[in-house]
Structure 1
Amino acid sequence: MIRVVTAAAFVAGATAMAAPAHADAVDDAFVAALNRAGIHYDNAEAATQLAKQVCPQLVGPGKSFGAAVSRVQGGGIPPQMAAFFAGMAVKLYCPAMMKSVTDGTFFDWIQAPHM
């Protein structure tokens, strides 16, 4: 679960929030985007793991951006910030999905259930 913290707690715990040494550039960009948006948390690795769960929530029967946002909220992100969090996750972790929405190929991502 991600715990959103206040600005004072964020400043006090900034060293605890530093990205882990094994983080990659996409993780770093995601954490930086959250920080710029004022979404502060107490565990950068947990935040990036939650973000990586968004893309699979977009494809398949019964899956949607709304389901992804709900999962993000369940992970501790407040409702007023969850859509931004999920949107940024899509932009950074599965950017081809964003492009597919605009070029009309989004449904190519959806796999039909096997019978």
Structure 2
Amino acid sequence: MKCIRIATAGSLAAAGLALSLSVASPAQADPETDAFFNAVTESGITGLDPATATQVGQQVCPMLAEPGQQMADVAGRVSESIGRPLGPATMFTGLAITWFCPGAVASIANGDSPIPLGLFGF
């Protein structure tokens, strides 16, 4: 009889766990990545999957940090990743720097550009 109670209690616990997992609240969106994706869309770069756009955008800063990396090289890699021509990919790269590279943005504000701004027309 004791074994039946333990088995029943275990079954109830497992069912309770399954139920709690199935009614868990949905994951909340990240305001920073939502804002980035909105900025990309508002700039005219449409038709991108939000998760892919965010993932590629978050890779821009580490790519720029690689030794000897050039902005044009990063924009080219972004172009391949998002399936857009170099012009929109350069815009996308600039937006990614704005949203995900606060150190670079702070340097630019202080007059010390860590990236060649000529590519953006500055």
**Would you say 1:91 and 2:98 are equivalent positions?**
yes
Deviation of 1:98 (Å): 2.0
1:72-107 deviation per Cα after TM superposition (whole angstroms, max 9, x unaligned): 111112212011100000000112212224433749
**Would you say 1:52 and 2:58 are equivalent positions?**
yes
Percent of aligned pairs sharing the same letter = 34
CA distance in 2, matches of 1:35, 1:78: 15
| Higher Rg of the two aligned structures | 2
Does structure 2 conserve the Cα–Cα contact (< 8 Å) formed by 1:55 and 1:93? yes
Root mean square deviation, CA, Å? 2.3
Gaps of 5+ in 2: 1-26, 116-122
- The match for 1:68 among 70, 74, 91 is 74
| Runs ≥4 residues deviating over 4 A | none
- In 2 relative to 1, CA 22–105 (structure 1 residues): closer, same or farther, beyond 3 Å? same
- In 2 relative to 1, CA 70–27 (structure 1 residues): closer, same or farther, beyond 3 Å? same
**Would you say 1:32 and 2:32 are equivalent positions?**
no
CA distance in 2, matches of 1:52, 1:77: 17
In terms of fraction of residues, the more helix-rich structure is 2
Does structure 2 conserve the Cα–Cα contact (< 8 Å) formed by 1:54 and 1:89? yes
- In 2 relative to 1, CA 102–42 (structure 1 residues): closer, same or farther, beyond 3 Å? closer
- In 2 relative to 1, CA 74–99 (structure 1 residues): closer, same or farther, beyond 3 Å? same
Deviation of 1:43 (Å): 1.1
- In 2 relative to 1, CA 80–22 (structure 1 residues): closer, same or farther, beyond 3 Å? same
The TM-score, its normalising length taken from structure 1, stands at 0.66
Gaps of 5+ in 1: 1-20, 108-115
Deviation of 1:24 (Å): 0.8
